[in-house]
Structures are given as C-alpha cells and as structure tokens.
Amino acid sequence: MCGIFGYVGTNTEENPVDICLEGLRYLEYRGYDSAGIAGILDGKINACKTAGRVHDLEALIRKSELKLSIAIAHTRWATHGKPSSYNAHPHFDSEHQLAIVHNGIIENYAFLKEELIKQGIVFHSDTDTEVIAQLLSFYYKGDVLSALRKTLQQLEGTWAIALIHKKHPDQIFAATKDAPLVVGYGTKEIFLSSDPNALKKEDLDILYLQNQDIAILQADSVKIVDLEGKEKITCFEKLHHESSGHGKDNFEHFMLKEIFEQPLSIKRAMENRLNEYLGTAYFEDLTLSLHELQSINRILILGCGTSYHAGCIAAALLQNIARIPTEVDIASEFRYSDPILSEDTLVIAISQSGETADTLAAVQMVRAKKAKVLGICNVKNSKLARESDSCLFLRAGPEVSVCSTKAFTSQLTLLGLFTLFMARLRHLSKEAGQQLLHELKSLPSTVEKVLSQARDIHALAKKYAHHEHFFFIGRRYMYPTSLEAALKLKEISYLNAIGYPAGELKHGPIALIDENHVTVAMCGNAATYTKLVSNLMEIKARGGPLIAFAPRSASNLETIADDILYLPEILDPLASIPYSIAAQLFAYYIAKEKGTDIDKPRNLAKSVTVE
C-alpha cells in the first residue's frame, strides 16, 4: 500500500513541507503505520519521520521547525519490518547523500542486501526499501539517472519510487513498475503522488507514469525515459477532481456518516441509468457495443475483499436473472492460475479504489488472453478505469473510512442494474424488467427504514459486544452477505467473525457452537427460509446464542432466536443491500462499545496496492 508525495518548485510563496503534509493527509488511507518526509536545504538532506500517523509527523515537524526547498514524503503500511521510526520512510544510503520513498515489495531484497553487506555496507532498518537506497549509492558515480537505471535492472518485484540526491538539489527522480505514480505539472512547480486526487491544486496537467518509466522532475520540466535511458514523448491531460469528502458533519465517525449516506449513494448509482418505458438500464459510459455484449456466453467476476463479496452476489444475479454462466474468483488467487478464456468471455473487475494490485494484475492477464474487461470502480482517475475496455463508475463519492460501506452497496446497485441490462438484451420480458426496475427504485426508501432502526441495532450490539466469537450464516444470496457482515465486524472490532453457508455448519464448524459463540442468521432469502430454520434449530439445540435478521413475514423465529431484528420486506435478489447495512451498523456499534479506532483500524489500509 503506502502513499508517496513529492514537490519541487520555484514559487517562494509555496512551502514544500506544508504541501507534502497536505498530500499525505489525503494519502493516509493507503497506510498509517508510520510517516516521514525528507528534502534538501543548503546542500544537506534533512528529514523527519516517526511511527504513527501523519498528525504525529506534523507535530514532530513543527517542533523541529523543519524547512526544505524540495521534498518527498511517505505514509506507510508495513510490509517488511514492524512499524517504527527506524523502519519509517524515507530511507537513506550510508553516506546520507540520498533519500528514497517506496511503495511496493522488492522480492529479491534479501539476496541484494547480503551482497551489499559483503561490500561493507551497514544497514539501519528491516525494510526492503533500504536496499534500493544502498544500491543506488553503490552505483552512483555522479549521474543519478545512470545509477537508478542500473539499480532498477537489479530489482525484482513491484515499485513506485521517489528519490532525491543532495548533489542534485533541484530534482526529484521517480520510477514505477506495477504501482501507481502520477506527475502534476503546474506553473513553475511539479507534484508527484500515488493518487491524482491528492493533487488538490487547480489547473494542473497530469501524467500517469507507465510501467518501467523513469521521471526526472524539475520545477519547470518533466523528462520521461525508459529503462534503457531512451527519452519518451509525454502526453499530459487535465486533472478532474473527485468531489471532496468534507468533514464528519454531526457524526462521530466517517464510517457512521457513510453508512447514513447510503440512500443518497444508491440513488446516485441509479441516476440517469433507468429506462422505465423499456424496463431496462442505460449506461452512458458503457463503451462495449450491443453486439459485443450479446456475443458474451460467459462472465467471470474478479475482486478482493469487499469487492469479491459484491462479485459473489453479482454472479448469482447474472446467472439467475440474466441466465449467463457466471463465475467469481478472488483476484489474488486467480492471477496465479492458468484460466481458460476467450473473446466471448466478459471479465468484470471490481475495485473501489481502482488501484488494487491483485485485481489490476489479473486484468492485465485476462486482457492478454483477449477477453473483454468491464471495470466497476469509484474513482475516475484510477488505473482500473484506464486499463479496462469499459468502466462503470459507482458515483458513491469519497469513502474516507477504511471499512467500506457505501461503496459496497453502490457496487451491488450498479451490478443489479447491469444484470437487468444484460437480461433484457437476451430473454427477460419488458414487463419483468419493469417489475425489477420498480424494486430497484425502491431501494433508497428501504434503506431509510433500516437506518431508522439504528437505536435498536445499537441496543443489540451492546448486549453482545462482550462476546469474542461470531458466526454469520445464510443461504443463497445471504451467504455472501454473511461473508461481508463477518468481514465488517472483524475489521473494526478485531473479533473473530466468520461467514459461513448455513447448511455447511453441520459439516464441521458446528463443533465450535457453545454458549459463548454467537450466531447471526441472515434470514433474507425467502426461497431457502424453511431450510435455514432447520439449521437454526441445530444451533439452538447446542446452546448457542442466536440473533436473527429477518423480514416480518418470517415465521417460527420467536421460539428459536434469542433476539430478532426485523427488516423491510424485499425481493431475494436485492435483500443483500438492506441486510448488509444492518450488519454494518451492528459492527459499528460493537466497535464503538469496544473503543477501537473505527475509521482507521489497526493493520489495515483503504487501498491495497501490494500483494
């Protein structure tokens, strides 16, 4: 993960330290184990770095009164080496001539480190990144570009790198391989960032660095060369900002705010995408032709984490409603398989940030096999949007909390619309399409009804917050909903929460059921409800505490469940949305009872840009 920011300029009104701090504050979603900044002033490398968050770094900077004329900065999600001040970036060579920040993983760092130690070089951190700094210094003979090219040719893995050298005080050098970096070009100033949305200045021209690009940045120039040193033609484009996330308003946490934004975010996902007369969906940004879509005879959905759970639900929708054979795979596993794909396969790649490394690697693999790629993403400036044949955007707005809430339900809404679109292209009647469209349009009001029960859910959370173990179970659409519900609870409360198919409990996991192991039953699938009740009886017989999320029409629950949260009636294919929102609130209030850091849970980051 990790976030990189850099600044070089000749505008005396701009403070490189403040500019980089502002950039890091936006990039902190990429990791917040430690943070640091380095730059050049009066021919020396000066730096501040610390374990902790960007506000800890800022306090250290203010105390030391750090001043820099050029700067690179970093916020870290730890891969190699525990979070600490000595493992924080930037890292330096032994002679303190250069400083480097890095996002990615150097897979052969141990071999390179051993070779450098044989040369008498002393290391001061546990990171793979320091190897890059020491190797650069080893190759440096007065030409940073030459040393960087030689260094990169030795590295195996992924990287986005920014570095400065005290003998080149007006330049930042950058390089990338399978990790995002973008250059922002202003008037007599250059910005460098892992995310274009961190470039808050208006009227910037931007350039996305391509694989194996090396950039030499000065206040009034940008030069791009390839790994062989050959200069490349640069093509800048105008930066279009995403709308600001603003503050928390009157909410205690961003997560709670974003949970309550879901009626609006779901509505925005559907806005101008409904054709009620024809009973179908319409996508202005869908560039795949009707002929291409009608020729699709198989769909493969790829995602990680919450996006994978959305893909599981979408696969059931597409297969059951559109009648298209659909599979879903975890991108981090799929990328190492040898898939059978063809030109009549549509791959749907889902990523909230559009920068998820495993998903992007999987997309590159399927494109090489000539399959069409449809991206589902929340960020217009993202790499997924650029790599896909076509991309549909969630329009959920910035999601600040690390724990995804509104992006997930926007994914489900958009994928539901796409399912309707594909079904109407094939077999679904106009009348059936209109009926499903009517149910989709009712989602915001259904979600409002769930949110109105926040006090009841809070009371339920208080009652069960002292428990350490939870099962979330369901059948059909409710099984992947249970996976997502369990993920939300474990992410922010650090409890052991597992999602499981209800019918599979008796094949082993039921051994865990006792008076301390809570089961939350997601009863929102009417077609399998009676079978689910049988599973709940099996849990009850073994003394396990039982919570049911269920529609009011559900029968026989009062004598089985210890507590019931009644949720609005809704069609089975759409039930994942209100049931997930109830689970989000349940997880939020349990985490609040336990006093955890809800918006920035330990060990996590919003955008997973490493393997």
Residues 6 or more apart in contact with residue 610 via CB below 8 angstroms: 1, 2, 77, 79, 103, 104, 105, 158, 179, 357
Q: What token pair was written down for 277? A: 């007369």
d(CA 212, CA 221): 20
- Cα–Cα distances in Å, from 547 out to 335, 456, 550, 567? 38, 13, 10, 13
d(CA 341, CA 325): 13
State the sign of the Cα–Cα–Cα–Cα dihedral 271, 277, 280, 283. Answer: negative
d(CA 348, CA 298): 11
Q: What token pair was written down for 205? A: 């021209």
Count the Cβ atoms, other than its own, within 10 Å of residue 83. Answer: 17
d(CA 104, CA 355): 13
Q: What token pair was written down for 184? A: 């922002």
Secondary structure, 3-state, 472-528: EEECCCHHHHHHHHHHHHHHHHCCEEEEEEHHHHHHCHHHHCCCCEEEEEECCCHHH
d(CA 567, CA 485): 15
**CA angle (235, 239, 242) in 5-degree steps:** 145
d(CA 546, CA 560): 8
Where do runs of H (alpha helix) occur along 75-128? 109-118
User: Active-site residues: which are they?
Assistant: 2, 606
Contacts 24+ apart (CB under 8 A), 115-121: 121/94
